[in-house]
């Protein structure tokens, strides 16, 4: 049976000056938290504001830092999130807040000036329930800058509007998001059984309820990627695993772009198998030539990666270009392997281990 499209509903616009609650789940973010919090406290908009930090059990001094900042600014409030799961922390922070508009912030990000005021204007104009903008990845080291470039490229993360930009309008999901509290309450907040991809799933329920999710390219958030190759691979494997779980739950409602990395993994497996058969003499002559067609997609992919990494005019250093050659396949293969595991076994036991230890200091 086909899904019946819900009747489009307008989200209620609170009175001007009603206030904003910023919510931020935090775990091992001592190197980034002060900058993230400062970008929130610098936001200018009508009405009062509060920032609620949901503190996981950090091991790098993040909790102590957060307590000091809360003692210095009464707008900052703290709630404990012993489970450390992002959706649990978000729900705790949202429920502890007092205002009708919720702004989600990542401790690994920084809001650009005017972000909140622009988002409130867009919410009121479109009567959407959630609005998001562009995630502008950036880096402080050659490796991190290479990852950022991959994030910002359609080739890196599949061309979602909030990664590579696009026209303003209705969207499948929203990066972070500025949301109406009454809609969140109506759809049941974030699903705490989903550790990654919780924003996509929430926006699916918002759209199912008939509300608009809106993309506004004038909104921008700076995002700082993982600082090492190992943590990047851990992050993308976890993300892919949870996307596989979401495919198990929601099937065809997932965008086709999510299936590209597992197809790359499948092509790699087939190529390895065919290469082994040719090298051992099992396949010879015409059969070997015919089977060699499985190498063509991988050759095309390799050429594409080399072109992205080495093409002139990008302003990258030599080290950044070399890291890009490693970063793109790492993102795609780790994500694809995780996806296969998630589809076959589910993701309920998966934990993003890249969040467990972060102690890279700011330069």
Beta partners for 170?
A: 214
Strand partners, 231: none
Q: Give 31's contacts (C-beta < 8 A, 6+ positions apart).
A: 60, 358, 359, 360, 361, 362
Domains of the chain: 20-227 (3.90.550.10), 250-355 (no CATH)
Q: What does the alpha-carbon distance between residue 183 and residue 211 come to, in Å, rounded to a whole number?
A: 8
| Degrees, nearest 5: CA angle 132-138-144 | 130
Q: Quick one: pLDDT at residue 165?
A: 65
> Does the pLDDT at position 20 exceed 90?
yes
Cα torsion 212, 339, 220, 100 to 10°: value is: 40
In the predicted model, is pLDDT for residue 73 greater than 70? Answer: yes
User: CB pairs under 8 A, 24+ apart, for 326-329?
Assistant: 326/146, 326/229, 327/143, 327/146, 327/147, 327/150, 327/229, 327/232, 328/150, 328/155, 328/156, 329/305
Q: Is 244 helix (H, G, I), strand (E, B) or coil?
A: helix
Instruction: Please indicate whether residue 68 or residue 8 has the higher confidence score (pLDDT).
Output: 68
Average pLDDT over residues 63-91: 95
Each residue's pLDDT tens digit, 104-126: 999 999 999 999 999 999 999 99
pLDDT at 131: 97
Q: Among 75-89, 162-176, 266-280, 328-342, name the one with the lowest average pLDDT.
A: 162-176
Cα distance between residue 137 and residue 206, in whole Å = 26
Residue 122 has what pLDDT? Answer: 97
Q: What confidence tier does 243 reach under pLDDT thresholds 50, 70, 90?
A: very high
If one compares 163 and 101, the residue with the highest pLDDT of the two is 101
Q: Which residue has the tokens 């610098």?
A: 42
N- to C-terminal Cα separation, the chain? 56
pLDDT tens track for 180-198:
999 999 999 999 999 989 9
Pick from 126-130, 220-224, 231-235 the range whose average pLDDT is largest. 126-130
**How far is 257 from 255, CA to CA, in rounded Å?**
5
Q: How high is the pLDDT of residue 312? A: 75
> Which of 65-79, 100-114, 246-260 is the least confident region?
246-260
Adjacent-strand bridge partners of 314: none
Cα separation, 160 vs 163, in Å, equals 5
Q: What is the mean pLDDT of the chain?
A: 90
Whether 159 has a pLDDT exceeding 70, the answer reads no
User: pLDDT grade, residue 315 (50/70/90)?
Assistant: confident
Which candidate, 161, 140, 141, 164, places its Cα nearest to that of 151?
Answer: 164
Q: Is residue 201 pLDDT above 60, yes or no?
A: yes
pLDDT value of position 52: 98
Q: Tell me, what's the pLDDT at 38? A: 97
């Amino acid at each position: 049976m086909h899904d019946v499209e819900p009747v489009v509903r307008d989200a209620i616009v609170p009175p001007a000056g009603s206030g904003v609650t910023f919510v931020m789940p935090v775990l091992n973010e001592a190197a980034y938290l002060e900058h993230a919090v400062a970008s929130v406290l610098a936001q200018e908009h009508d009405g009062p504001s509060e920032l609620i930090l949901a503190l996981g059990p950090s091991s790098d001094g993040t909790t102590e830092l957060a307590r000091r900042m809360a003692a210095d600014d009464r707008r900052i409030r703290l709630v404990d999130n012993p489970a450390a799961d992002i959706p649990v922390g978000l729900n705790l922070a949202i429920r502890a807040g007092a205002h009708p508009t919720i702004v989600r912030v990542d401790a690994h990000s920084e809001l650009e000036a005017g972000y909140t005021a622009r988002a409130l204007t867009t919410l009121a104009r479109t009567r959407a329930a959630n609005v998001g903008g562009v995630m502008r990845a950036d880096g402080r080291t050659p490796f991190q800058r290479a990852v950022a470039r991959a994030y910002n490229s359609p080739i890196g993360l599949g061309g979602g509007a909030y990664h590579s930009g696009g026209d303003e309008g209705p969207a499948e999901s929203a990066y972070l998001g500025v949301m109406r509290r009454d809609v969140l309450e109506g759809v049941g907040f974030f699903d705490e059984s989903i550790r990654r991809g919780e924003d996509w799933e929430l926006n699916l329920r918002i759209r199912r309820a008939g509300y608009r999710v809106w993309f506004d390219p004038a909104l921008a958030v700076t995002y700082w990627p993982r600082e090492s190759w190992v943590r990047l691979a851990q992050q993308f494997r976890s993300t892919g695993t949870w996307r596989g779980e979401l495919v198990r739950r929601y099937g065809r409602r997932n965008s086709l772009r999510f299936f590209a990395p597992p197809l790359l993994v499948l092509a790699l497996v087939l190529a390895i198998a065919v290469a082994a058969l040719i090298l051992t003499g099992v396949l010879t002559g015409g059969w070997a030539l015919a089977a060699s067609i499985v190498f063509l997609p991988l050759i095309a992919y390799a050429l594409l990666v080399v072109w992205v990494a080495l093409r002139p005019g990008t302003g990258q250093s030599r080290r950044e270009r070399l890291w890009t050659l490693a970063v793109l396949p790492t993102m795609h293969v780790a994500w694809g392997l995780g996806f296969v595991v998630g589809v076959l076994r589910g993701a309920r036991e998966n934990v993003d281990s890249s969040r467990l230890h972060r102690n890279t200091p700011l330069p």
